[in-house]
Amino acid sequence: MPWRMRNRIMNSSWGSHTAIARLLGAPEPSLEPQAELWMGAHPKAPSMVRVQGVWVSLVDLIVENSESILGTDAARVFGNRLPFLFKVLAAEKPLSIQAHPNSPKAKEGFERENNLGIPLDSPRRSFQDDSPKPELLCALSPFWALCGFRKIPDILKLGNRLVSRSLKNELRDLKRQPDPSGLKAFFKAIMALEDSIRKNAIDEALASAAPEIDSDPVAKWITTLAREFPFDIGMLSPIFLNLFRLNPGEGIFLSAGILHAYLKGVGVELMANSDNVVRGGLTRKHVDLNGLMDILKFDEHAATIIRPIPAGSCEMRFDTPTEAFSLSQITVSPEREFLSQDRKSIEILLCVEGSGAITTQTETRRMSFQQGDSFLIPANFSGYRIKGDATLYKAFVPER
């Protein structure tokens, strides 16, 4: 049968006292703000799985049984490591402006910080491991986010509307060089403003935004970010980053080097098995502007919302370009059950609503579940059925 999971909750100041607690069926709000629920085998917070009545670290289990758990192909391609990390993310307050490295930059950054003698648990670290971190977020509630640079004409339009006096030189230079190099110079100049100019830009942006707070999301979020992070120039991010709202069930995929900030909402997040985050602002954690400049892509990036496509009678799958992971939504009802297809790799399932049971194909064995339960299905487990009235999300390694 599948193995039940016990997962670590990560606290952070931007987290929620209620979202993850409610998902897990806790009777009261949490004492600390809960930001993420981690499901996977990252060394920082590995899940425990219940095997034959004993709780075992998923990291240790994979080391001892890599092919039978991951699948032959996944074990070979990903070096006997689980290639993804599955999370629930609950943002009550905005997260930092950040980006994640590609594979060469991750290896380079991890080695550099090791050579500098920065401990792995130091708050001054940006690179926790040597892996890239593409990621997919699927909203469970209305979800606001900033993602990727706007088209340069849009940046100029918003900039001239909100900060035309204080940033006239920076806007003029971007207009003269409306290409990736010009955008890079514009972003670096904004993030490194002298204190007096920074204060003028923040004051002008807030004054310009004030009459439009109720009608314009850009004005609303500029004001919100300034309230959460006074004197942080990152509050201007809605001017140069795409701002959008995900409805429940919609997703966004972030490849390496895409500047982004999650603002508010609850979602499931699936990513490469990495915790590398290089921050540029809107945070009280370590900021590494030079490191961020080194990994960013400065192309105009149209924010595309991903909607899942049918992959069976009960399954909707999110189409993403990575080989490390895939995500699907499974919805069962009393009239409609889920039957797994041919399986070749590990799967982690999380129930986000309702209850039901997972059985063997012949229904000789049965395991019940409810909202908040998660379980791991190793690659060598035969096909299975899911019955009940429930919505689940499934993380897995796609077929190559």
Catalytic annotation, residues:
279
Both tokens assigned to 14: 């931007």
Whole-angstrom CA distances from 371 to 7, 30, 392, 398 are 14, 17, 9, 25
Both tokens assigned to 233: 């120039």
CA nearest neighbour of 85 among 339, 322, 332, 380? 322
User: Is 98 within 8 Å of 260 (Cβ atoms)?
Assistant: yes
User: Is 218 within 8 Å of 158 (Cβ atoms)?
Assistant: yes
CA nearest neighbour of 175 among 201, 156, 151? 156
CA nearest neighbour of 369 among 348, 383, 396, 350? 350
User: Is 48 within 8 Å of 374 (Cβ atoms)?
Assistant: no
Three-state DSSP class for 372?
coil
Q: Give the number of other CB atoms < 10 A from CB of residue 104.
A: 12
The one-letter amino acid code at 112 reads R
Is the Cα dihedral 203, 206, 210, 212 positive or negative?
Answer: positive
Angle at 362 between CA 356 and CA 366, to 5 degrees: 35
Matching residue, tokens 């790799």: 345
C-alpha 256/C-alpha 252 separation (Å) is 13
Q: Which ranges of 71-216 would DSSP assign to H, the alpha helix?
A: 72-77, 103-115, 152-162, 168-176, 180-191, 195-209
Q: What is the rounded end-to-end Cα distance, in angstroms, of the chain? A: 26
